[in-house]
Structure 1
Amino acid sequence: MDSPIPSQASQFRPWPNQAILVKIFHWVNLISLCLMMTSGLQIYNANPVFGGRAGWHFPPIFLLGGWLAGGRHWHFAAMWIFSLNLLGYGLYIVITRRWKHRFLGSNDLKALQNSNNKKRVTYAWHRLAYTIIIPILLLAILSGLGMYKPAQLHWIVDFFGSWQALRIVHFTSVPIVVIFALIHSLLGLKVGGQRLLESIFW
């Protein structure tokens, strides 16, 4: 008996279509994050958070700026781009009411505990990741502003308890954001496959 021929619907699935603003937000996020991470490592090398000036340094291949002042210029320029892009995305999801489908709700918690629907559980994990990353990003921006203008924004330094605590919070926010990006991508792959990921940028 011949194997069944796949239906036309299964052969020609529609390509996921993302709004142009979503593509722009993702591209700006990706570029500004890369600029901030590489320039941030340049700043880190001038006075490592862990171990002082004698602490472990990152290799030049991962650095941007050439020296401390150059790293700072790149870092703060990219920070403004990232922050304004994040604000724009926040306004976008509020105006389009996408926030209703982005963040964790009581139904998602129930799905994580009881649902046997794998796709539903994946969406719930995605919303959990979106919800957790918001305070992390706010802490990263707040701690960065405190390091940028410690005299003018001394209350930020006081909020974190000390200058060193401020630096540790800011530094550790970076791997958390990278982990979020990986989880975000893996969950997208699980739900929509390679086509969904490609549609976010192209």
Structure 2
Amino acid sequence: MTLTPSQTRKRPTQAIAAKIFHWCNIISLFIMLTSGLQIYNANPVFGGRAGLHIPPIFTLGGWLAGGRHWHFAAMWLFSLNLLWYGIYILITRRWRHRFVGANDFKALQKSHNSKRLIYAWHRIAYTAIIPILLLALFTGIGMYKPAQFPWIVDLFGNWQALRIVHFASVPMVILFAAIHYQLGQKAGGTELTESMF
């Protein structure tokens, strides 16, 4: 019996740390998104109290305080997950393969190797999401504890501007997740993305 190339090819494997990181991110981001929409409904960013409301099926928490409890619990999970994974990639030196470098920009200009281009775009996306996540956490802290951190509110001009910036980080994170998934599919197909879970 002759094996086909797909049968003989080694299936991709991932470190358990990477799997835990991805699962914690998915769970915490889902909770933050749905509970954030519950918080949003209490005073919509656009249009005030009479603005667009999100249907309850897409929200978590039941009311403003419930949404806040879920949101900040998930924020701690998300933040600590990012912190420990950052320490992990620093210790294991995986950061050298995760973040964009000069060679990636050169590849985008000169390379005709599709895999090389995919990896270059992936590292660019990985690098670009870091300031967005930090901005989301930073603005979230300013909204959560404005009395303790009034300078965060002042940095953005006023409370409403702070809320708009925080709200704007959501579609950017969703866009990153979609790009990350698509690039993973192009780099290694379904087997690669399934190996993360």
TM over 0.5: yes
Within the candidate set 188, 191, 195, 1:195 is matched to: 191
What is residue 27 of structure 1 aligned with on the other side? Answer: 23
Q: Alignment partner for residue 62 of structure 1, among 55, 58, 65?
A: 58
1:183 maps to a residue whose letter is I
For 1:160 and 1:91, how far apart are their aligned partners in 2?
Answer: 30
Is structure 2 residue 129 aligned with structure 1 residue 133?
Answer: yes
Tell me the C-alpha RMSD between the 2 structures. 1.2
1:80-130 per-residue CA deviation (whole Å, 9 max, x = no partner) reads 000000111111110110100111111000101111011000000000001
Task: Say yes or no: does 1:122 pair with 2:122.
Answer: no
Q: Corresponding residue for 2:170?
A: 174
Confirm or deny that 1:82 pairs with 2:78: yes
Question: Given the alignment, which residue of 39, 53, 56 partners 2:49?
Answer: 53
Give 1:10 shift.
Answer: 4.1
Partner of 2:146: helix, strand, or coil? coil
> 1:56 is paired with a residue of what secondary structure?
coil
Q: Secondary structure at the match of 1:190?
A: helix
TM-score (norm 1): 0.95
Could you report, residue by residue, the CA deviation over 1:175-196 in whole angstroms, capped at 9, with x for unpaired residues?
Answer: 1001100100100000000000
* Corresponding position of 2:93: 97
Residue 11 of structure 1 deviates from its aligned partner by 2.5
Shift of 1:155: 1.1
4+ residue stretches of structure 1 with deviation over 6 A?
A: none
For the residue of structure 1 that corresponds to 2:193, the secondary structure is helix
**Residue from 136, 153, 160 that aligns with 2:156:** 160
Matching residue's letter, 2:41: N
Local SS of the residue matching 2:169:
helix
Identical aligned pairs, as a percentage? 72
Which amino acid letter does the alignment assign opposite residue 182 of structure 2? L
Q: Aligned partners of 1:74 and 1:198: how far apart in 2?
A: 28
Q: Return the offset for 1:13.
A: 1.3
How many residue pairs get matched? 197
Q: CA–CA distance in 1 between the matches of 2:135 and 2:2?
A: 50
